[in-house]
Structure 1
Amino acid sequence: DYWARDLPIQKGLYNYDEIRIDYYRDANAMFEAFKKGLYEVNPEGDPAQWNKGYDFPALNQGRVVKETFNTGTPKGMSGFVFNTRRPIFKDIAVRRALAKLFDFGWVNTNLYYDAFDRAAGYFNDSELSSIGIPASDREKELLAPYPDAVVAEVMDGTYRPASSDSSGADRTVLREALSELQGAGYELKDGALVNTASGKPLAFEILVTTKEDERLALAYQRTLARIGIQASIRNVDASQYQLRRQTFDFDMIRNSWGASLSPGNEQSFRWSQEAADQDGSFNYPGASQPAIDAMIEAMLAARTRDEFVAAVRALDRVLVSGFYVVPLFYLPDQWMARWTTVEHPEQTSINGAKLETWWRVPE
């Protein structure tokens, strides 16, 4: 007898009389439980599992179905993060060259069944993204006081992360990156890339805490080694990883920043100059640019949707131009598997599948 159950804003929502949530300490045990019907809805994010793991009797008999849902919300940025507080990553030319050396094509084909799309900006696959779109007059106006904050190809919408032939050893990309690093003051010496002035090798540590991140780091490490860059991988437990991440005690980590259609104050905690020096903030790369602060301020001050979109796109352009991460990838759609004892509306929201709109099929 919920008082608002018949109001228009609640129509079709919260149809269950009872919801039970079971917790599993092991992902394999959890999936086996789903296959046996011990729980009925399984969101899936593992491409290998989605492509190979759903061959079991209940699915073959039609009692379990796999479904893909489109979403209209931004796909955020997932990437290997350069800690620009470290001297080795202070030079944007070095970061830009290193970002080219992640072979997305090889990783996507060999590890993920070509399931992912390449991340490019921080609001991918939405109206807030600047990727593929020339800057509007309003964006140019916002960015005018900061003429060096956005590189030309990001401003005109032609920027894309480097693509390869998916071989894991694209010589064209390797030559381009090596040439850029030589322009930044490095040279190949006895098979190692070293700083011409100091003689120190271009070497850094990738900090990971999961097997998946370690696998990605190993793929990146192999490509880096082809031009003499020494990337070591250190796998630490979750508590140590969290401490080092909170205190910015790392060279490189993997991180994902989620996104919505209404970004707001949280962008300051992620990207502002103040957050760069604040332990525990989400400004892991140490981005510290007046242009970023100004774009966040413009976003928060916007009073129309057009002003808001322009400010967010301008922020996106500044972040992309800073080459703070090696862009990785995102799932373009939402994957869900369910037993047919549960149903959902034919049309889903812009956010994709929402369990609060689903219901149990009457027996």
Structure 2
Amino acid sequence: MRFFNISNESAIWRALAFGVCVAAMPLASAADPMHAIAMYGEPALKPGFTHLPYTNPDAPKGGTIRLAESGTFDSLNPWILMGNPVFPIFTQPGLLTESLMMRSIDEPFSLYGLLAESVETDPGRTWVEFTLRPQAKFSDGSPVTVEDVMWSYETLGTKGHPRYTAVWSKVAKMEQTGPGKIRFTFNTPDRELALLMGMRPILKKAQWEGKDFSQSGLMPPIGTGPYVIDKVDPGRAISFRRNPDYWGRDLPVNKGLHNFDQIRFDYFGDANAMFEAFKAGETDVWRELVAARWDRDFTFPAVREGRVIKAEIPHERPSGIMGLVMNTRNPVFADWRVRQALIDAFNYRFINMTLSGGKDPRITSYFANSELAMQPGPATGREAELLAPFAADLPPGTIEGYTLPEGGDRHIDRKGIRAALDLLAQAGWTVQEGELRDAQGRPFAFEILLNQSGSAMRSASETRQIVDIFIESLRNLGIKPQVTLLDSAQYVQRTNNYQFDMTWYERGLSLSPGNEQMLYWGSAGVKKTGTRNWMGMNSPAAEAMIAEMGHAETQDDYRAAVRALDRILTAGRYVIPVSYSRISRLAHKAELHYPENTPIYGDWPGFMPETWWYEERN
């Protein structure tokens, strides 16, 4: 498939989200200054390229784009665990802050120089060195210095979010090696680290002197990016203004990007309010996640009159995982048979027909829709070799092959209920006087925690509809879960601390998974707060596959390690998955445009609003 021709292409992070990283692969050459660095082979774009292939270098500048977010915010510092931050600062690459290198979202993982004009590393990637561009400046006009870079890395690595601290522990030494040069030496054999060191936001050290970086707040950060914060209405709206003095506007990596004069994000209580605002013309773009609604509900006047355009944008990225996650920190979910029983009781076919008309396929594994996905049937070759040492401890189906139940056409899937009851009985749970109980008579009780603002991929009403249908099925097992709705701030607090039994879970995954997978699935996350290991999995096999991804020196070995990890995750039965879409459905104001040549990641961070522009209709 096109996207896994790694010698020509690369990837972006996540997600969905929070940042997705990758496993780096060896360079073909020795340590020489390079304009870019790739995970495997050479970057697709050679020195002297004029612009990224998915941008329009002639795009006009000007205009405003108004976007919508659900929930609220109380912090402008998205780089720490505390607070409920404005995520556009973090999820829109290069909007306010920049890193030494930037991703191309048309390649599985290539980085091109941004704040850094060049990168050097040794064949073994035991160290990496960056050289700053002399013209790089913060938005206040002050130069970016090696001191700013080193302070940013150390501060993020010691006081920042866990996504930064884990990688920082693998840095043995950070040093200035010359004018504008910073070198990182590693204490761990991991080929991805040379790339990860190019992907941290660079902040202005002087702005934070005398302040506690680990505390949330509404102080606007000073960055180097093309935009500055214009106005903040705490909890309700934030707008960014294009900086006319942006230092990097003429770099080839920026040609055709950052075209709007203003980018505004308005916050709404839930997705239904967001959709109504879009229909009324108060926001400019709507991502529709339900195929049936895309066909059914876009007949309002703005669409009929051509003021709103419906666009379908293909992508070649993995499905990721989305659905109801079971927290195995709760003993009731510790047994894989119990988790499989709840998967059997979840009537996917009926739910999918009800919500999307059955048009979108089901997520069959975490890396479905890509070459990295586990294949049907038993593991073979290198994949089987990697799994063999852990065979005794892996759940059934990991090595032999695992498939999800299809469900039935009717509201209650009796076949699924029978399978669930049998598994529950094996695990020591039986129906007694209409209620599922263990041998001591204790009821099978748990809470389903939901965000009343919905999620990035599902509205609150849609997740509640899914949960309501699921609960009806569970009644046939003698299970009556409690559903709790929280506002976004309370929800973030509880999920960061794993204070839930079951909740809605979404994780975007890239074509180049790597170190970040340890943050997602590593055993440290069982107790360490703020990781993405919401299921509380503790799997030596998964950690071994993640390590193997970092050590792999060939494309085949890397793919085998990812596929083995995919088997471990999927057969672990931690999430009850729903459907995904192979396209992104974006309805947008007719005056908004995007390039015809869309990247392999499609509608993904770095695409909208970065590559879009405003142009009046004729």
* TM-score, normalization by structure 2: 0.54
- The answer (yes or no) to whether the contact 1:161–1:327 under 8 Å persists in 2 is no
Counterpart of 1:22 in 2: which secondary structure?
strand
**CA deviation after TM superposition for structure 1 residue 282, in Å:** 1.1
Identity within the alignment, % = 37
2:410 is matched with which residue?
A: 167
Is residue 2:390 matched to residue 1:146? yes
2:490 is matched with which residue?
A: 240
1:312 is matched with which residue?
A: 562
Q: Distance in 1 between matches of 2:546 and 2:273?
A: 44
Match of 1:129 among 370, 373, 380: 373
1:63-142 paired onto structure 2 within 5 Å: 63-132=307-376, 134-142=378-386
1:201-350 paired onto structure 2 within 5 Å: 201-210=443-452, 211-212=460-461, 213-350=463-600
| Structure having the larger proportion of residues in helix | 1
Match of 1:22 among 264, 287, 299: 264
Cα deviation per residue 1:24-66 (whole Å; 9 max; x = unaligned)? 3335665456456666543333446423332123422444331
Q: Distance in 1 between matches of 2:500 and 2:592?
A: 45
Counterpart of 1:294 in 2: which secondary structure?
helix
- The answer (yes or no) to whether the contact 1:214–1:233 under 8 Å persists in 2 is no
- The answer (yes or no) to whether the contact 1:78–1:257 under 8 Å persists in 2 is yes
**CA deviation after TM superposition for structure 1 residue 266, in Å:** 1.0
Letter in 1 for 2:441: G
Larger mean CA deviation between 62-71 and 279-288 belongs to 62-71
Letter in 2 for 1:309: R
Larger mean CA deviation between 217-226 and 203-212 belongs to 203-212
**CA deviation after TM superposition for structure 1 residue 105, in Å:** 1.4
**CA deviation after TM superposition for structure 1 residue 183, in Å:** 1.5
Against the structure 1 CA distance between its residues 323 and 148, is the aligned structure 2 distance closer, same or farther, given a 3 Å change threshold? Answer: farther
Q: Distance in 1 between matches of 2:303 and 2:488?
A: 35
Counterpart of 1:223 in 2: which secondary structure?
helix
**CA deviation after TM superposition for structure 1 residue 225, in Å:** 0.6
Cα deviation per residue 1:226-272 (whole Å; 9 max; x = unaligned)? 12112111112222222221222211111111100011111111111
Larger radius of gyration: 2
1:3 is matched with which residue?
A: none
**CA deviation after TM superposition for structure 1 residue 80, in Å:** 1.2
- Structure 1 gaps, min length 5: 1-5
Against the structure 1 CA distance between its residues 361 and 155, is the aligned structure 2 distance closer, same or farther, given a 3 Å change threshold? Answer: same
Q: Distance in 1 between matches of 2:321 and 2:291?
A: 19
Counterpart of 2:407 in 1: which secondary structure?
coil
Counterpart of 2:448 in 1: which secondary structure?
strand
- The answer (yes or no) to whether the contact 2:386–2:564 under 8 Å persists in 1 is yes
The count of aligned residue pairs is: 356
Letter in 2 for 1:295: M
Q: Distance in 1 between matches of 2:506 and 2:433?
A: 37
Cα deviation per residue 1:187-212 (whole Å; 9 max; x = unaligned)? 221111211x2111212111112233
1:47-58 paired onto structure 2 within 5 Å: 47=291, 49-58=293-302
Counterpart of 2:323 in 1: which secondary structure?
strand
Q: Distance in 1 between matches of 2:534 and 2:586?
A: 32
Counterpart of 2:295 in 1: which secondary structure?
helix
- The answer (yes or no) to whether the contact 2:60–2:615 under 8 Å persists in 1 is no
Cα deviation per residue 1:67-96 (whole Å; 9 max; x = unaligned)? 222210111101211111111111111111
Against the structure 1 CA distance between its residues 75 and 16, is the aligned structure 2 distance closer, same or farther, given a 3 Å change threshold? Answer: farther
Q: Distance in 1 between matches of 2:339 and 2:274?
A: 40
- The answer (yes or no) to whether the contact 2:397–2:571 under 8 Å persists in 1 is no
- The answer (yes or no) to whether the contact 1:131–1:154 under 8 Å persists in 2 is no
- Structure 2 gaps, min length 5: 1-47, 63-259, 453-459
- The answer (yes or no) to whether the contact 1:73–1:260 under 8 Å persists in 2 is yes
Cα deviation per residue 1:281-339 (whole Å; 9 max; x = unaligned)? 11111100111110110011112221111111111111112111222222231111234
Larger mean CA deviation between 143-152 and 267-276 belongs to 143-152
2:49 is matched with which residue?
A: 7
Q: Distance in 2 between matches of 1:40 and 1:254?
A: 27
- The answer (yes or no) to whether the contact 2:387–2:399 under 8 Å persists in 1 is no
- The answer (yes or no) to whether the contact 1:64–1:338 under 8 Å persists in 2 is yes
**CA deviation after TM superposition for structure 1 residue 139, in Å:** 0.7
- The answer (yes or no) to whether the contact 1:271–1:283 under 8 Å persists in 2 is yes
**CA deviation after TM superposition for structure 1 residue 23, in Å:** 2.8
Letter in 1 for 2:578: L
Q: Distance in 2 between matches of 1:38 and 1:168?
A: 38
Q: Distance in 2 between matches of 1:329 and 1:313?
A: 20
User: Which structure has the higher relative contact order (CA within 8 Å, separation 6+)?
Assistant: 1
Against the structure 1 CA distance between its residues 343 and 249, is the aligned structure 2 distance closer, same or farther, given a 3 Å change threshold? Answer: closer
Against the structure 1 CA distance between its residues 44 and 97, is the aligned structure 2 distance closer, same or farther, given a 3 Å change threshold? Answer: same
Q: Distance in 2 between matches of 1:297 and 1:146?
A: 15
* TM-score, normalization by structure 1: 0.89
Letter in 1 for 2:430: E
Letter in 2 for 1:320: T
2:424 is matched with which residue?
A: 181
- The answer (yes or no) to whether the contact 1:121–1:131 under 8 Å persists in 2 is no
- The answer (yes or no) to whether the contact 2:449–2:485 under 8 Å persists in 1 is yes
Letter in 2 for 1:17: K
Against the structure 1 CA distance between its residues 67 and 178, is the aligned structure 2 distance closer, same or farther, given a 3 Å change threshold? Answer: same
Q: Distance in 2 between matches of 1:58 and 1:326?
A: 37
